[in-house]
Amino acid sequence: MITYKEKSQTANLRAIRRLAKEISSAHVLPLAVVHGGGSFGHPLAKRYAIKDGFKKSSQILGFAKTHLAMVTLNRLVVDALIQHEVPAVAVSPSSCIVAKSGRISTVSSEPLKKMLQLAFVPVLYGDAVLDSDLGFTILSGDQLITHLATSLNADHIIVGLDVDGLYSADPKTKPTAKLISHVTLKELKDMRLRIEEAKVTDVTGGMLGKIDELIPAIERGTTVLLVNAAKPGNICKALKGEKVTGTLIEKE
């Protein structure tokens, strides 16, 4: 969404600026932003097999390149937000999070909590992080979102996608696929098999992985709203709590 997936390390600056403007217009606080890697982080992470952990010395430079690519994309996002007067502060996951076998293990959340108290908007991202078992790994934006929502006691998670939300089947191949506007955790479990057919995937797991990762937050009461961020106005409306096409996921 904020990068051109086909073009290596090419940002969609138009989309970034529009979304920054929407976030600015919504005037919602407290707010934290998490973005993915797109064509910045993903190709490098894949090429150097960062997710699998440290196996050979050539990966070391690969990890460094992957993190640099993510910092580069993050800088563009933060810059756009600041241009729209959002006090965005980059928070680098690899500087404050260590994983264990691919899952978040230790987090230094004090800087983040203090930022939110002062009305800053921390901007995080999926990142290459150190891992006490694997050496290093990839921390997906989705895993990060759930962790933040839980530790910061978030009311809402808004997930910006390039589709309208969760469908009964893959809308790109099945014209009969219907957008599910509301779903509970129980209904979600019943639907799992159908979601697995949807194949809206990406390196970090696609729609199914995305929802799976968010379940711990939903279980403790955070609502999740999936919306199409490619459609102008949606993110602003979603942030303001206005009615918007999408999928609302609630505990019950």
Handedness of CA 179, 222, 207, 242 (dihedral sign): positive
User: Is position 94 an interface residue for its own copies (rule: CB under 8 A)?
Assistant: yes
Rounded least distance, CB 124 to its own copies, Å? 9
Sole binder of its own copies in the list 30, 43, 111, 216 (CB under 8 A): 111
Rounded least distance, CB 84 to its own copies, Å? 11
Please give the Cα distance from 143 to 28 (Å, whole number): 23
User: Is position 114 an interface residue for its own copies (rule: CB under 8 A)?
Assistant: yes
What the block records as the tokens of 43 is 């190709």
What the block records as the tokens of 52 is 């699998």
User: Is position 134 an interface residue for its own copies (rule: CB under 8 A)?
Assistant: no
User: Whose CA is closest to 22, among 222, 14, 156?
Assistant: 14
Rounded least distance, CB 218 to its own copies, Å? 27
User: Is position 68 an interface residue for its own copies (rule: CB under 8 A)?
Assistant: yes
For 101, 133, 187, the CA distances from 194, given in Å and listed in that order, are 29, 34, 12
Q: Which helix (H) or strand (E) holds 67?
A: helix 58-83
User: Is position 91 an interface residue for its own copies (rule: CB under 8 A)?
Assistant: yes
Sole binder of its own copies in the list 19, 33, 45, 78 (CB under 8 A): 78
- DSSP letters, 94-144, are HHHEEEETTEEEEE--HHHHHHHHTT-EEEEE-EEEEETTTEEEEE-HHHH
User: Whose CA is closest to 90, among 101, 82, 98?
Assistant: 82
User: Is position 200 an interface residue for its own copies (rule: CB under 8 A)?
Assistant: no
Rounded least distance, CB 49 to its own copies, Å? 15
User: Is position 101 an interface residue for its own copies (rule: CB under 8 A)?
Assistant: no
Q: What are phi and psi of 45, to 5 degrees?
A: -60, -40
> Which residues between 37 and 66 bind its own copies (CB under 8 A)?
54, 60-61, 63-65
User: Is position 67 an interface residue for its own copies (rule: CB under 8 A)?
Assistant: yes
For 113, 188, 224, 234, the CA distances from 208, given in Å and listed in that order, are 30, 10, 14, 22
Rounded least distance, CB 186 to its own copies, Å? 38
Task: Give me the 154-193 binding string for its own copies, x by CB under 8 A, dash otherwise.
Answer: ----------------------------------------
User: Is position 108 an interface residue for its own copies (rule: CB under 8 A)?
Assistant: yes
User: Is position 97 an interface residue for its own copies (rule: CB under 8 A)?
Assistant: yes
Please give the Cα distance from 29 to 116 (Å, whole number): 8
Q: Which residues form the interface with its own copies (CB under 8 A)? A: 54, 60-61, 63-65, 67-68, 71-72, 75, 78-79, 82, 85-98, 106, 108, 110-111, 114-115, 118-120, 129-130, 132, 135-136
